[in-house]
Amino acid sequence: MFIKISIVKSCMPSKKSAKPPSHNEAYEKPILPAGVDPQRVVYASFPPPARLGVLAVRRETSSEGLSELSAQAKEEGADYPKKRFMYAEIKRHLGERIFIALVGPRGAGKSTLLKQIHNQAEASFYISIDSIGAINLFNVSKELMESGIRLLLLDEIHAYPNYSRELKKIYDFLPRLQVIFTSSSSISLHEATYDLSRRVRLVPVPSFSFREFIFFVKGENVAPIPFTDLTNAKRCKAYYGRNMQFEPLFEQYLTGGNYPFTLHHQDTLSQFQNTLDAIIERDMVRISRITLAESFDVRNMLLSIGRSPSEGISYSSISQKLGIAKVKVQKYVELLERAFVLRRVLPKGTNLTNEPKILFTPPYRLLYKQYDDCIGDLREDFFVDAISRLNFGLGYLKGTRGEKTPDYLVGDMICEIGGRNKGREQFKGFSGKNKIIFTQPGMLDDMRRPLFFAGMFK
């Protein structure tokens, strides 16, 4: 076995020489540890590191360069004729004296939305902050407004230092300019919007609903089903009859098809792993300032949640199992919820602790378990993610003495999620409320409804 010893050259020339030593010059051999045979040592030299104290500064981007990139983005907007369902909502706010923040998970298509808006808007200008050199954002915005630009589209705004302060300044001093901005770091946007307060309207850009997924995959704009129709078996039967041909797509949707970027990729789970790595290493470490040691705790926590049944996962159970302080577990979960990786559901009932049930957003659970091994929990992940978008007061049901209860309470509706074997016994002891069992594969009778219906609401 050979021992490799690296010799790093000095990055500074000596006083006697006007240039650094060449690669061919001899270097003083280091003192070897006791017992090491000098004949079995390989010496290797490497280029010198950059001098300490010298910072890399990005070259400032010219106005011509910005204009070229903006024109290119405008052309790219035409490459995406299909538009997310929230596109119409964004357009309704154009021209208002308010800035718009597009908030959603990485990979949800926020940059594409900006380019589509740019393609169809008059007097607009697009800047991708993380793709250009150093600029003074306020000065550039001022010049653009004075040249007739009325809509400024800022992509990846988190790449600009202290961007919330700069946006405040633009809002307060450039009244003829409206700004729409995005960030792949939803954690950063959550923190910044507190500072921007009344100046910004948040527009959610979530992952696809199942109805939107059908639109992008099959090109059919299926009518939504009103949530209140769930208790009407006749209407549900008619809706199922019109749309049951889409049910075979549901497994593809559950396993990663709920994100736009997967429409053109085969190995989707590796893409989600890369996304999760970026959330932990960039958003949580660099922006939320968790330490490197804490990032390992985050990964261990996700591994533990992913490999455990969803029932019983709470701050306390994670803390006890991994030896992490409960206050830190709560902090990590809250950050991952802002990043759209985890979802918390508070309990409904009396004499209960306020600790939430912790679930993944689809399909992150599949990074830790195979589809067939976690299908029950994955169905719950989907249901909670879909219903949470409706703001109907979702809560999970929990007995005070560990007795079996249905899964969730949505408004005044008791909901159970599962396969075909679920029956009325799930609701034993619960009366006076509407009761629905969401099943996959779908069934439809007086109490059962296909699970994919939860992705068809508006």
Query: 409: burial class by Cβ within 10 Å (0-12, 13-18, 19+)?
Result: buried
User: Is residue 446 within 8 Å of 379, Cβ to Cβ?
Assistant: no
CA distance 184 to 110: 8
Per-residue model confidence as pLDDT tens digits over 200-238? 998 999 999 999 999 999 999 999 999 999 999 999 999
Q: Please write down the HEC assignment for all residues of the chain.
A: CCEEEEEECCCCCCCCCCCCCCCCCCCCCCCCCCCCCHHHEEEEEECCCCCCCCCCCCCCCCHHHHHHHHHHHHHHHCCCCCCCCCHHHHHHCCCCCCEEEEECCCCCCHHHHHHHHHHHCCCEEEEEHHHCCCCCHHHHHHHHHHCCCCEEEEECHHHCCCHHHHHHHHHHHCCCCEEEEECCCHHHHHHHHHHHHHHEEEEECCCCCHHHHHHHHHCCCCCCCCHHHHHCHHHHHHHHHHHHHHHHHHHHHHHHHCCHHHHHCCCHHHHHHHHHHHHHHHHHHHHCCCCHHHHHHHHHHHHHHHHCCCCCCCHHHHHHHHCCCHHHHHHHHHHHHHCCCEEEECEECCCCCCCCEEEECCCHHHHCCCHHHHHHHHHHHHHHHHHHCCCCCEEEECCCCCCCCCCEEECCEEEEEECCCCCHHHHCCCCCCEEEEEECCCCCCCCEEEHHHHHCCC
What are the structure tokens assigned to 274, written together? Answer: 């890369």
Those residues of the chain that have pLDDT short of 70 are: 1-61, 191, 193-194, 349-353, 399-404, 423, 432
Domain with CATH 3.40.50.300 in the chain: 63-204
CA distances to 32, 423, 428 from 404, in Å = 68, 13, 9
Q: What is the pLDDT of residue 399?
A: 66
Confidence (pLDDT) at 421: 76
Question: For the segment 98-136, what is each residue's pLDDT rounded down to a tens digit?
Answer: 999 999 999 999 999 999 999 999 999 999 998 887 899
Which tokens in the block code for residue 180?
Answer: 């729409």
Query: Does domain 63-204 sit in CATH 3.40.50.300?
Result: yes
Task: Specify whether domain 213-455 bears CATH 3.20.20.80.
Answer: no
Q: What is the pLDDT of residues 162-202, one digit of tens each?
A: 899 999 999 999 999 999 999 888 888 776 766 787 889 98
pLDDT score recorded for residue 28: 44
Question: pLDDT tens across 406-424, in order?
Answer: 889 998 899 999 887 776 7
Q: How much is the pLDDT for 35? A: 55
Residues of the chain within CATH 1.10.10.10 domain(s) are 213-455
Q: What is the pLDDT of residue 242?
A: 97
Give pTM, 2 decimals.
0.83
